[in-house]
Every structure is written in C-alpha cells, then in structure tokens.
C-alpha cells in the first residue's frame, strides 16, 4: 500500500485529504496546546473543518478511514495504530513517525499501598525488555496481516557497541597520541637537563683544578722565603754582607723598625 502522505508536514501542506483526531482525547489536546508551527496549522484546519473531522471513539475513526477511500486520515496513539494495522481486513497502515513521545502508567487510588510495588514492577519489566517482548508477541507475532515489521520500520533502533565504536577508537587514538607526545617531551627535557648538568660538573671540576694549581705555586714561594730568613729577619741581597747588621730589619713583632745608621 503506497500513500502520498509520508509525514505530518505533508498533511499540513494539502487540503484534499481530511484528517482529525478523537474528540476529547490526548491527541487533540496535543495539537491544541502545541506551539510548533506545523501542528498549529493542522489544529487551525481541524478546528474549522466542515464537516467535523473529530470522532467520538477509535472504532468510528478507523471505520471513517476505511470508508473514505484514502480521503481521510485518523491521528491516534502509535500503540493502537500499530495494533489495528495488524488486524483484518489489513487495509490500514501507519504513515510517518511519531509526533511526540509519552508513556503509559497503571492508575491506582490516591494513597494506595500498591503504587510503589506496581511502579517497581513496571520498571523491572521494562529494564528486562519483557514489555517489548510482550508487545512483539501480541502485536506482530500474532498479527493477522503477515508483515510483522511494517509497524516497526519507523522506530528508533537501540544503539549497540558497533554504533558507537568509532567514538571509542577516536578516544583511544587520542590517548595514545597524547602518551607519545608526553614521552617525546620527557626524553627531550631529560636530554637537555643531562647536558646542563654535565656542563655544570665540568665547570666545577675545571675550577677545582685551577684552584689546586694556584695553591701549589703560592706554597713554593713561602718555602723559598723561609730558607732566606734567619731568626725572623729578611736579608736584602743587594747590599754587601758586611753592612748587614745595619740594614732595616723585621722582627717577630708586627711592626717595622727603621734605622738611619749604616746607610
């Protein structure tokens, strides 16, 4: 079955095919309260259409679709739509994706002790995919029209590891590159630091060697001076030996004694 309408936008663009909802249902409220331009346009059409495009119940809406020969589209909840599609006479089909997303709940009296246990049970069944299995069993496996996947073609597929593997590959590659850059930087800095330390050590050794040589030269001069002295006196070799007693002399004291005799 081929339809010229593939989405809500296609419905809003034309006036040949009428469309409506259950009068007083959640779908009608959705269009009434929507602030999206396409849905506002559709609501404006449905509200002013003559004859009325609203129906009293779902059975009336489905019968109106079947009798209109492609001139009427009934907007309803996806779960009911998919179920009806799989029932004889197999002359209806779901067109396009869902307009919005909402969940179902189990109602209990206010303050009922059953509320929390029921909530936990529903959450557990949903996490274990039991609800999806039950829907597939009663909607499609036991369907009467033989094309079980027709109602599921527009559903969003669950993400698997293969769908997001590329993200992990990029992350792992980035981490590997970062580690490689860090290793190269570490080796480079270590090499520079090693050269600097070697230069400092060489400079220290050179300074130590020069200091040792200077100390050796100074010690020899002191020894020579000691050999030339006698009882703390310094002899000037430029004067005759006979006048040595009248020469200036330096005693053991810290001062200098000067004499003019013998000059």
pLDDT tens for 113-127 read: 999 999 999 999 999
Average pLDDT across the chain, whole number = 79
Q: Which residue has the higher pLDDT, 1 or 143?
A: 143
The rounded distance, in Å, linking the Cα atoms of 5 and 74 is 12
CA atoms of 188 and 63, how far apart (whole Å):
81
Lowest mean pLDDT among 53-57, 101-105, 186-190: 101-105
Residue 81: its pLDDT value, please?
A: 92
Say which residue, 142 or 238, is predicted with more confidence.
142
Burial of 151 by CB count in 10 Å (0-12 exposed, 13-18 middle, 19+ buried)? Answer: buried
What is the arithmetic mean of pLDDT over 31-48? 95
Which range scores top for mean pLDDT: 134-148, 178-192, 193-207, 230-244? 178-192
Mean predicted confidence (pLDDT) in 150-173 = 67
Q: Distance (Å, rounded) from C-alpha 250 to C-alpha 257?
A: 7
Cα(192)–Cα(190) distance, integer angstroms = 5
Q: What was the pLDDT predicted at 215?
A: 58
- Lookup: tokens for 151: 């109602």
Q: What is the largest CA-CA distance in the chain?
A: 158
13: pLDDT confidence band, cut at 50, 70 and 90? Answer: very high
| CA proximity to 11, closest of 33, 34, 43 | 43
């Amino acid at each position: 079955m081929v339809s010229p309408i593939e989405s809500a936008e296609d419905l809003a663009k034309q006036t040949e095919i009428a469309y409506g909802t259950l009068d007083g249902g959640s779908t009608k409220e959705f269009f009434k309260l929507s602030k999206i331009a396409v849905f506002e346009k559709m609501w404006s059409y449905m509200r002013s259409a003559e004859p009325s495009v609203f129906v009293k119940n779902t059975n009336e809406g489905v019968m109106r679709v079947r009798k209109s020969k492609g001139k009427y589209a009934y907007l309803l909840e996806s779960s009911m739509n998919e179920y009806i599609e799989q029932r004889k006479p197999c002359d209806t089909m779901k067109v396009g994706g869902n307009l919005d997303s909402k969940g179902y709940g189990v109602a209990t009296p206010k303050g009922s002790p059953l509320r929390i246990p029921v909530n936990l049970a529903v959450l557990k069944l949903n996490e274990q995919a039991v609800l999806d299995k039950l829907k597939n069993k009663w909607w499609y496996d036991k369907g009467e029209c033989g094309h079980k996947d027709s109602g599921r073609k527009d559903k969003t597929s669950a993400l698997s590891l293969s769908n997001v593997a590329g993200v992990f590959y990029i992350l792992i590659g980035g981490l590997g590159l970062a580690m490689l850059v860090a290793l190269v930087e570490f080796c480079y800095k270590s090499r520079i630091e090693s050269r600097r330390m070697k230069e400092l050590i060489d400079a220290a050794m050179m300074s130590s060697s020069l200091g040792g040589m200077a100390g050796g030269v100074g010690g020899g001069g002191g020894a020579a001076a000691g050999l030339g002295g006698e009882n703390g006196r310094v002899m000037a070799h430029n004067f005759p030996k006979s006048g040595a007693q009248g020469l200036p002399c330096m005693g053991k004291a810290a001062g200098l004694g000067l004499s003019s005799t013998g000059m």
